[in-house]
Amino acid sequence: MRKKIVAGNWKMNCTLPEGKKLASEVIHMVEDRVQNDAQVILIPPFIHLTGIYSLIGSVSNIYLGAQNCHQEREGAFTGEVSASMLVSAGASYVILGHSERREYFGETDELLAEKVKFVLDNNLTPIFCCGEKLETREAGDHENLVGQQVATALFELSEDEIKNVVIAYEPVWAIGTGKTASAEQAQEMHAFIRKQIAAKYSQEVAESISILYGGSVKPENAKEIFDQPDVDGGLIGGASLKSKDFVDIVKAFD
């Protein structure tokens, strides 16, 4: 069975006190009110990782993630953070290739292939993001583009390695815009990605990989999207900054 996952990407938001308050509220509500077995991942800025980890403690089903990671083990890379540092701070997951990293920091699929391999070697689970811009969708080229992103960044991995990757499909035109892909558009792309994986590896591998949808997921639309057969959860930006909204999204699996 594939893991169901709801991950909250805080991006560059929250001071430490604000982040601790938000995390405490989420942890409390998840413990008290969530009936399902979805994994909840809190993904704060690097500097808050240890602080938030100490709040999560041993609460089952809540994990810590980071928003990025460097592709080298260590060294003279001022301002960067390594995979082993993330693990030592309590992280189990790391987002790689978020569209904001691609757009503002020039990350390419070739670089992401290196990062994905490296974090897997360091026992972190990558949440690999892919997704097309509006003009690509309007040109009808979205499957080609996403297929290429996935193939370039992931298809050098072995079967055992790719089974440990989580994929997040995030159409760029839906991120932070309030425009959500329809449940049908999400399902169509998720099924396409799974088909590509089945063709390259096997049906069994494809069936084992969780594929999350991201882009303006809210309590009001989460259930319809998560109900799609190839959607295994969500990567949540804006709505993860409000504890009740975020937990209501997790409850969409109840």
Q: Does 216 contact ligand PGA by CB under 6 A?
A: yes
Helix-helix angle 219-226:183-200, to 10 degrees? 40
CB of 86 to ligand PGA, least distance (A): 18
- Return the SS3 of 88: helix
170 is an active site residue? yes
Tell me the per-residue interface mask from 111 to 150 with ligand PGA, x by CB under 6 A, - otherwise: ----------------------------------------
Is 115 within 8 Å of 83 (Cβ atoms)? no
* DSSP code of residue 179: P
Our finding on whether 235 is near ligand PGA (CB under 6 A) is: yes
Shortest approach of ligand PGA to residue 180 CB, angstroms?
Answer: 8
Number of H helices, E strands in the chain: 12, 8
The half-sphere exposure of 152 on its side-chain side, counting CA atoms within 13 A, is 15
Q: How far apart are CA 162 and CA 231, in angstroms?
A: 18
How far is Cα 8 from Cα 202, in angstroms, rounded to an integer? Answer: 30
Q: How far apart are CA 254 and CA 252, in angstroms?
A: 6
**254 lies in the site for ligand PGA, by CB under 6 A:** no
Cβ proximity to ligand PGA, 71 vs 240, nearer residue: 240
Q: Does residue 215 interact with ligand PGA by CB under 6 A?
A: yes
Q: Does 238 bind ligand PGA (CB under 6 A)?
A: yes
Of 17-25, 50-58, 132-140, 230-238: span binding ligand PGA (CB under 6 A):
230-238
Tell me which residue has its CB nearest to ligand PGA: 237
Contact flag: residue 8 with ligand PGA (CB under 6 A): no
User: What minimum distance in Å lies between the beta carbon of 52 and ligand PGA?
Assistant: 18
How many Å apart are CA 148 and CA 143, to the nearest integer?
A: 8
Q: Which one from 70, 98, 142, 190 is the annotated catalytic residue?
A: 98
- The sign of the CA dihedral 10, 13, 19, 21 is negative
- Pick between residue 19 and residue 238 the one whose CB is nearest to ligand PGA: 238
Catalytic residue among 107, 142, 170, 190: 170
Q: Of 162-191, which residues contact ligand PGA (CB under 6 A)?
A: 170, 175-176
Which phi and psi angles does 42 have, rounded to 5°? -100, 130
Q: How far is the CB of 99 from ligand PGA (least distance, A)?
A: 7
Q: What is the DSSP letter of 172?
A: G
Residues that bind ligand PGA (CB under 6 A): 9, 170, 175-176, 214-217, 235-239
Active site residues: 98, 170
